[in-house]
Chain A
Amino acid sequence: MADTIRPQPDRRTGLYDLHQQLGARMVPFAGWQMPVQYPMGVMAEHLHTRAEAGLFDVGHMGQVLVWPEDGRIETAALALESLIPADVLGLTEGRQRYGLFTDDAGGILDDLMFAHRGDHYLLVVNAARAEHDIDHLHTLSGIRVEPVADRGLLALQGPKAEAALARLVPSAAQMRFMDSRIIDWQGAALWISRSGYTGEDGFEISVPEAQLEAFARVLLDQPGVAPIGLGARDSLRLEAGLPLYGHDMDEGVTPAEAGLGWAIPNARRIGGVRAGGFPGADRVLPELDDGPSILRRGLRPQGRAPIREGVEIFAEDHGGEPVATVRSGGFGPSVGGPVAMALIPADISDGTTLWAELRGKRLPVTVCALPFVSPSYKR
């Protein structure tokens, strides 16, 4: 493999022209040109999504199909289980789950969604990790890995998402949280899942490039639907306590530390029917039973100043060594104040006051359980 790294121009999704027309401010993100906000602004976009419905371009995320070479879906399920500590085999057709790729040390390589689609699986991975994850999947035998290059991806989120989508594809209203369906819209096969990353009910919709802009425009014409940028996407997921890869978790963070033990079912745990058998199992599984020494939790600054990624957290109002570093932080528009997440020592209980060092001053923050805003998924 050549080691030459050539700077490449940021890629554009199929909605680039639409974003420009809508007046988006475009920024580079994970190798893509993406809308960070529209003229409505981050605060209003965030609140609009919680009150009505927001349409997000998430076409930078990686969509990958995994096919069993022998035609047996179990073959693909077991191959995926060798990289992902999830119950892939137990997933039924038309359903989707959340999972993690782990490394040999038990760290997290990426998080993903995987859906059972009858004779194959559909995976959706983070933009910045897509290339890595595809290489990682290629280490498996018995499966064929097919990156999806000719589709965009939209997220429609918020309490009016169901009504808006059901006007175009009525059967979407029958879907429950984490259902995955292929539904026709004017001859285009939409890959729809009832999921998202905002804490709101909603859908993620994969659309063929040829119909992508037309479909996005029709959605934007529905009552209550507004275009929402990455800025609000970040504050929405932060309030919902959802971790972002590369910030709240990475190779140096284990599933238990990230508070993601729920994604690892009993079948893969010690004593389970298919215990272990994934990278780092000898670290990951005992830690799920014994409890991690640090745990991702919330921080609520007691004042108004936001504490952002990289801010150090101390146990005392002066001196000492930091006990944690903020992984994600900012202003939570629905909370009406600053919110942050960090990996906090497990022996520090919720409700404890810690101190964030900001511009040379120690400011009090309260340790709290996540999320800051309760999700409203349609289960």
Chain B
Amino acid sequence: MLKYTEDHEWLRAEGDEIVVGITRHASEQLGDVVFIELPEEGREVAAGEEIVVIESVKAASDIVAPVAGTITAVNAALAEAPGDVNGDPMAAWFFRLKPADAAAVEGFMDEDAYKALVG
């Protein structure tokens, strides 16, 4: 099941982990992505912590951890081909995270609510 954050990230629950990427809206706002720096696997992160650096031709931005937890995997192939974020953002995942609180994901928007947000 997909959930969306106000920071324009998508979260997909898989077992007791979530997979995180950015939405089409976010990738369009960023423009052509040329550099991605991913967090280290095993890192403990706080909710809202900036853990991914994403640079487009225009500017540098951050991707935050949507919830507190542990990074269990990162998409190293994406750092090698950052432009994939502009190609198919829903397939271009950044990291897998095991939430400290399994219920923390519940509060995020569903697709309809997110579509209403970005108009």
Contact = CB atoms under 8 A, between A and B. Distances in A.
A36 B37 CA distance: 26
Contacts of B31: 37, 41-43, 231
Contact of A231 (B53, B57, B82): B57
Contacts of B57: 42-43, 46, 231, 235, 330-331, 333
A234 B57 CA distance: 10
A44 B56 CA distance: 13
A357 B84 CA distance: 27
B35 A304 contact: yes
B60 A331 contact: no
B55 interface: yes
B88 to A, nearest CB: 16
Contacts of A305: 35, 37, 53, 55
Nearest to A37: B31
Interface in A22-67: 36-37, 41-44, 46
A304 B55 CA distance: 10
Contacts of A331: 32, 34-35, 55, 57
A338 B55 CA distance: 11
B81 to A, nearest CB: 11
Interface residues of B, number: 14
Interface string A314-358: 000000000000000011010000100000000000000000000
B7 to A, nearest CB: 19
Contacts of B35: 304-306, 331, 338
Interface in B57-72: 57-60
A6 interface: no
Contacts of B55: 305-306, 331
A306 B53 contact: no
Which of B37, B58, B60, B86 is most buried by chain A, counting CB atoms within 10 A of its CB? B58
A19 interface: no
Interface in A281-331: 304-306, 308, 330-331
A42 B32 contact: yes
B95 to A, nearest CB: 17
B20 to A, nearest CB: 20
Interface residues of A, number: 18
Contacts of B56: 42
Interface in B15-70: 31-32, 34-35, 37, 53, 55-60
B83 to A, nearest CB: 8
A43 B57 CA distance: 7
A154 to B, nearest CB: 23
B34 A308 contact: no
Contact of B34 (A36, A304, A359): A304
A43 B32 contact: yes
A44 B60 CA distance: 19
A304 B56 CA distance: 12
A306 B60 CA distance: 9
Nearest to B82: A304
A297 B99 CA distance: 47
B32 A306 contact: no
Contacts of A308: 59-60
A44 B37 CA distance: 23
A216 to B, nearest CB: 24
A360 to B, nearest CB: 11
A231 B58 contact: yes
B62 to A, nearest CB: 10
A42 B58 contact: yes
B31 to A, nearest CB: 6
13 contacts: A41-B32, A41-B86, A42-B31, A44-B32, A231-B58, A304-B82, A305-B35, A306-B34, A331-B32, A331-B35, A331-B55, A331-B57, A338-B35
Given A43-B34, A305-B53, 15 more contacts: A37-B31, A41-B32, A42-B31, A42-B32, A42-B58, A43-B31, A44-B32, A304-B35, A304-B82, A305-B35, A305-B55, A308-B59, A308-B60, A331-B34, A331-B55
Closest 4 CB pairs of A and B: A43-B32, A331-B34, A42-B57, A304-B35
